[in-house]
Amino acid sequence: YQDKKYRPSKMKLGFVFQNPMDQFIAGTVYEEVYSSCLDHQKTRIILDYLDLSAYQNLSPFKLSQGQQRRLALGIILMGDFDFIIMDEPTYGQDHAMVIKIMNQLRAVVAKTGKTILFTSHDLELVEHYASHIIQVKKHV
């Protein structure tokens, strides 16, 4: 992004995998988020916000795909990253949760100045939330 000077050796990069199960390392949902921020209050807040509090003592692998996606987002949002890449962050979410997630991402950018790059097949979502759009088209 042209307003920011990134040095690859200094930049902290966060990435939400297409398959969230590839990034889980802790035994419970709570531990996954807590390990990224080391703050119990922030952990409880993000779990509540993402509707995951009821599952905090479960293994991340026992969650539905949509819940796993939200957990992966929570882990990255609570981490200390300068630049975040998210592959389809709203996959598997209902409309209300899509809005909640995207509003949270917008708030994180506004509050912290972090840069978030996300991919999506939902052009309406992209046009509503992205400040810059790069469209990739397949040429045959």
In eight-state DSSP terms, residue 129 is H
Distance CA 40, CA 5 (A): 33
86 three-class SS = strand
User: For 11-38, what is the mean pLDDT?
Assistant: 91
State pLDDT tens for residues 46-100. Answer: 999 999 999 999 999 999 999 999 999 999 988 889 999 999 999 989 999 999 9
Place of tokens 């609570």: 78
